Chain A
């Protein structure tokens, strides 16, 4: 994906904010400019009106003139008033001596008012008539088109009332956009008679068209300036953003792409991000720093993973070696005594983990005595395996001294208890078979009941007497018992991994199923057949469930003393 909108976005936002800012500044500036100027014009007009009103009162009797003209005006009918501007209309007022006479009040006032015109546009005297809503001119000082006394113009009620009701505070003025004169400010000052009644107003007009025009010109100038400034700012901002933002971001993005590519190709380059050299002093520098840290951390993590994997492999190798060593410790060559015809023995040990705590053993103590044992160390895995190795060696050493099973277990228990910090223990069933007579002398240190099959019967548990486990308690004396085996009898011993094999539904295989499996074997089955039969039954039962405990079995078939070759029958 190749998106390059960051610069465009910056330009857009810069332009928008510049324009908004410029507009606000322009409005404020124009408003201030306009207000100040207009205020100045109003002040000038009002001051002129005030000053001129004083002169108008003193220089001539303008009050009397006003009163006379207003009296005539009010006496006219509507029809007559509507003839304003005609000679006929003017004659109503020119009949007055004060108007027509040279040097009269009108003549004096016209000349006097003209002296005030230099700074304003028009200076004149007038009076508002409420009834007709009109401004009636009394004296107009305009030289070009002077309005005749008594001539009138309609005015707005609002403007008229403002003048008539002025309370003397501030300045009296009104601004209006007239058709004839454009934007016009009219300021006024009332002139009162002796009774205090307002008889007329000294009115001053100032055109503020120029002010408005200037404001428009000013606005145009600012607008152009603003557009130029905005364009310049946007250009600069886009350049700056390119240098300060876009290029570093592109650099980081490129580094990320290269990083992934190098990782895939197996390159061990480790300065994709740390070599970026971004010193913007802002979040982007932070980002590149964070990416560099991340690259370093990932590299460390990767190394650690490699180490862990190597370690795991080493442990795996060691464990597989340990499995071999442990398997080699147990007699595993079958048939074990190929030249012996008086018995047959078969055994198997399947640890749940790489190494197990179960073990079995069989050995000829002498030519007439066969030692058989099966054992189960508490727990599983490496600790159990180490304990199993020690137990097995002690047991066999003691057994080879030719002692009875009870004595062997008692001695072994003492030896184990003397050095058992981990407080582990081992259950052992031990038997020594006198081959010539079939007398099996046994002792049981907390191990499962043996299973016995008489020649023509079925397999059945032999509920022997139990001693405590080996290594559990010091000073225990193990008792022994005897079983007389007849030719064709079979003995099956096992560890709890067989009856306690568990299926996915958490059900135990159990002693009953084990006995059924044993009894499913034909009479002629060899010890190997018997073990394979039981193993199959267990596998069928547990199906997919993980083997949870070590599974160990041993089977002996006593065949009885056989005539040796060459012996006389």
Chain B
């Protein structure tokens, strides 16, 4: 998985490429822990994310909880497979997905 980070003032944009699973989720968690303090809003671009597992969902949920106290978090460009996971797990109702 590749993490492409772009900070635009207090707006943090992160694009993910590849698979967000048990092996790669800690990488994203570390990156978010380091970056979220300086961000008011978080946009996750999932255009090139092929797959998300429950470990990945856990990281998203943590980030969602942190950002909901600030400017919020949204997930954009979600593909069908990932959308399905969001639907099944109920994340679609919790997260802001555009």
Binding site for B on A (CB under 8 A): 376-380, 423-425, 427, 445-449, 466-469, 472-473, 496, 500, 508, 548-549
Interface residues of B in 8-42 (CB under 8 A from A): 21-22, 25
Pairwise interchain contact A423-B61, C-beta atoms closer than 8 A: yes
Pairwise interchain contact B58-A446, C-beta atoms closer than 8 A: no
Interface residues of B in 63-82 (CB under 8 A from A): 65
5 A-B residue pairs with Cβ-Cβ distance under 8 Å, sorted by A, are A378-B55, A468-B93, A469-B57, A473-B94, A496-B54
Pairwise interchain contact B22-A446, C-beta atoms closer than 8 A: no
- What's the minimum C-beta distance from B48 to chain A, rounded to whole angstroms? 15
Which of B21, B62, B65, B89 is within 8 Å of A427, CB to CB?
B89
Q: B54, B57, B87 — which one has the most chain A CB atoms within 10 A of its CB?
A: B54
Pairwise interchain contact B90-A445, C-beta atoms closer than 8 A: yes
Nearest residue (CB) in B for A473 is: B94
Nearest residue (CB) in A for B65 is: A423
Pairwise interchain contact A466-B54, C-beta atoms closer than 8 A: no
- What's the minimum C-beta distance from B88 to chain A, rounded to whole angstroms? 6
Pairwise interchain contact B90-A467, C-beta atoms closer than 8 A: yes
Pairwise interchain contact A379-B58, C-beta atoms closer than 8 A: yes
Q: In the bound complex, how far is the Cα of B25 from the Cα of A105, in angstroms?
A: 130
- What's the minimum C-beta distance from A468 to chain B, rounded to whole angstroms? 4
| Across-interface contacts of A424 in B (CB, < 8 A) | 58
Q: In the bound complex, how far is the Cα of B89 from the Cα of A409, in angstroms?
A: 14
| Across-interface contacts of B88 in A (CB, < 8 A) | 446-449, 466
CB < 8 Å A-B pair total: 61
Beyond A473-B61, A473-B94, A500-B51, 18 additional contacts (C-beta under 8 Å) are A378-B54, A379-B25, A379-B54, A379-B55, A380-B22, A380-B55, A423-B58, A423-B62, A424-B58, A427-B54, A427-B89, A446-B88, A467-B90, A469-B90, A472-B94, A496-B54, A508-B51, A549-B22
- What's the minimum C-beta distance from B19 to chain A, rounded to whole angstroms? 9
Q: In the bound complex, how far is the Cα of B91 from the Cα of A378, in angstroms?
A: 13
Pairwise interchain contact A446-B61, C-beta atoms closer than 8 A: no
- What's the minimum C-beta distance from B93 to chain A, rounded to whole angstroms? 6
Pairwise interchain contact A378-B57, C-beta atoms closer than 8 A: yes
- What's the minimum C-beta distance from B24 to chain A, rounded to whole angstroms? 12
Nearest residue (CB) in B for A465 is: B90
B53 at the interface (CB under 8 A from A): yes
Q: In the bound complex, how far is the Cα of B83 from the Cα of A487, in angstroms?
A: 35
| Across-interface contacts of B87 in A (CB, < 8 A) | 466
Which of A423, A446, A508 is within 8 Å of B89, CB to CB?
A446
Q: In the bound complex, how far is the Cα of B57 from the Cα of A296, in angstroms?
A: 50
Pairwise interchain contact A468-B94, C-beta atoms closer than 8 A: yes
Q: In the bound complex, how far is the Cα of B94 from the Cα of A424, in angstroms?
A: 16
- What's the minimum C-beta distance from B60 to chain A, rounded to whole angstroms? 10
Which of B51, B58, B65, B93 is within 8 Å of A378, CB to CB?
B58
Q: In the bound complex, how far is the Cα of B51 from the Cα of A500, in angstroms?
A: 10
Pairwise interchain contact B54-A376, C-beta atoms closer than 8 A: yes
- What's the minimum C-beta distance from A253 to chain B, rounded to whole angstroms? 50
Q: In the bound complex, how far is the Cα of B65 from the Cα of A446, in angstroms?
A: 18
- What's the minimum C-beta distance from B62 to chain A, rounded to whole angstroms? 5
Q: In the bound complex, how far is the Cα of B65 from the Cα of A379, in angstroms?
A: 19
Nearest residue (CB) in A for B93 is: A468
Tell whether A446 pairs with B90 under 8 Å between CB atoms, given A424-B58, A425-B58, A472-B61: yes
Q: In the bound complex, how far is the Cα of B24 from the Cα of A379, in angstroms?
A: 11
- What's the minimum C-beta distance from B66 to chain A, rounded to whole angstroms? 10
- What's the minimum C-beta distance from B83 to chain A, rounded to whole angstroms? 13
Nearest 5 pairs between A and B by C-beta? A468-B90, A446-B89, A378-B54, A446-B90, A378-B58
- What's the minimum C-beta distance from A500 to chain B, rounded to whole angstroms? 7
| Across-interface contacts of A446 in B (CB, < 8 A) | 88-91
Pairwise interchain contact B53-A549, C-beta atoms closer than 8 A: yes
- What's the minimum C-beta distance from A17 to chain B, rounded to whole angstroms? 66
| Across-interface contacts of A427 in B (CB, < 8 A) | 54, 89
| Across-interface contacts of A466 in B (CB, < 8 A) | 87-90
Nearest residue (CB) in B for A381 is: B22
| Across-interface contacts of B57 in A (CB, < 8 A) | 378, 425, 469
Which of B53, B55, B65, B89 is within 8 Å of A469, CB to CB?
B89
Nearest residue (CB) in A for B84 is: A511
| Across-interface contacts of A500 in B (CB, < 8 A) | 51, 53
Q: In the bound complex, how far is the Cα of B85 from the Cα of A448, in angstroms?
A: 9
| Across-interface contacts of A508 in B (CB, < 8 A) | 51
Nearest residue (CB) in B for A549 is: B53
Nearest residue (CB) in B for A448 is: B88
Q: In the bound complex, how far is the Cα of B88 from the Cα of A469, in angstroms?
A: 9
Q: In the bound complex, how far is the Cα of B54 from the Cα of A377, in angstroms?
A: 8
Which of B22, B51, B90 is within 8 Å of A379, CB to CB?
B22
| Across-interface contacts of B25 in A (CB, < 8 A) | 379
Q: B61, B62, B65, B91 — which one has the most chain A CB atoms within 10 A of its CB?
A: B61
Q: In the bound complex, how far is the Cα of B88 from the Cα of A379, in angstroms?
A: 17
- What's the minimum C-beta distance from A393 to chain B, rounded to whole angstroms? 20
- What's the minimum C-beta distance from A90 to chain B, rounded to whole angstroms? 122
| Across-interface contacts of B61 in A (CB, < 8 A) | 423, 425, 472-473
- What's the minimum C-beta distance from A147 to chain B, rounded to whole angstroms? 113
Which of B54, B58, B91 is within 8 Å of A468, CB to CB?
B91
Q: In the bound complex, how far is the Cα of B91 from the Cα of A447, in angstroms?
A: 11
Q: In the bound complex, how far is the Cα of B32 from the Cα of A197, in angstroms?
A: 115
Q: In the bound complex, how far is the Cα of B88 from the Cα of A500, in angstroms?
A: 14
Q: B53, B55, B88, B89 — which one has the most chain A CB atoms within 10 A of its CB?
A: B89
| Across-interface contacts of A447 in B (CB, < 8 A) | 88-89
- What's the minimum C-beta distance from B57 to chain A, rounded to whole angstroms? 6
| Across-interface contacts of B58 in A (CB, < 8 A) | 378-379, 423-425
Nearest residue (CB) in B for A476 is: B90
Pairwise interchain contact B89-A468, C-beta atoms closer than 8 A: yes
| Across-interface contacts of B51 in A (CB, < 8 A) | 500, 508
Q: In the bound complex, how far is the Cα of B88 from the Cα of A496, in angstroms?
A: 11
Nearest residue (CB) in A for B19 is: A506
Q: In the bound complex, how far is the Cα of B65 from the Cα of A74, in angstroms?
A: 134
| Across-interface contacts of A469 in B (CB, < 8 A) | 57, 89-91
- What's the minimum C-beta distance from B39 to chain A, rounded to whole angstroms? 19
